[in-house]
Amino acid sequence: MTTLFISDIHLTAERPDMTAALLAFLQGEARQADALYVLGDLFEFWIGDDDPNPLHQELAEAFAALPRAGVPLYFVHGNRDFLLGQAYARRAGMTLLSDPTLINLYGERTLVMHGDSLCTLDAAYQRFRRITGWPWLRWLFLRLPLTRRQRIAKKLRGNSQKESAYKSQAIMDVTQDAVEALMREQGATLLIHGHTHRPATHDFTLDGQAVRRIVLGDWFEQGSVLVCRPGEAHLERRPLPSL
């Protein structure tokens, strides 16, 4: 009995080693799991389900093999791929989940989410997140010509990299108050998220009860997988191939 969690892979054609590592994971270890949860930022950016990028099709086929083998596949949107829609999800065999979603993980009330909404000290980012969540703006963007969307995405990526260079690490991390408020509201004893690229397990006490927050890692230098079994959870690394 094993449930797997991954996030922040940021797939792009410029990093074939990350793609190869993920494909090996999907074709091997993931096939033996009870379920696989992908908690956002699977792709470096997403400009619409109609993007003919060959990488997207390759991954859709690899993911779709999991539910055909009896392994449920769940996806939570990240801040890089929040426009991933039902059309692609159907091709990839994914079930889209809201952010956050409360699940029963081997008897434990567990919240799964991307994690960016918990970075409440980053006021500029939270404002951007609210704006990009407007349904009419998403509708309008997805109806722009593909080349126009690609230019916009490239500009946004550049702006994000510049902003990250001068923001403090504390501002870009989650805040404990936001974590506790959400876990208390949902009655959860375990929170699993990504986004911050700071893999770790944080144990603390909430209203007199022992609880945990597990942060998933990115796949820039090695794969990062949370392996959960009844009564245990381990963050594990997976090597990237040399191509």
* Binding site feature residues for Mn(2+): 8, 10, 41, 79, 114, 195, 197
In order, the DSSP letters of 190-227 are EEEE-SS---EEEEEEETTEEEEEEE---SSSSEEEEE
- Report the distance separating Cα 137 and Cα 174, nearest Å: 27
Q: Return phi, psi of residue 213, to 5°.
A: -125, 120
SS3 content of the chain, % helix, strand, coil (to 5): 40, 25, 35
Instruction: Taking each helix axis as running N to C, give the angle between helix 16-27 and helix 54-68, from 0 to 180 degrees, rounded to the nearest 10.
Output: 10
- Report the distance separating Cα 110 and Cα 197, nearest Å: 20
Summarize the annotated binding site as residue ranges. Answer: 8, 10, 41, 79-80, 114, 122, 160, 167, 195, 197
Q: Return phi, psi of residue 187, to 5°.
A: 65, 35
The 3-state DSSP class for residue 109 equals: strand
Summarize the annotated binding site for substrate as residue ranges. Answer: 79-80, 122, 160, 167, 195
- Report the distance separating Cα 204 and Cα 180, nearest Å: 10
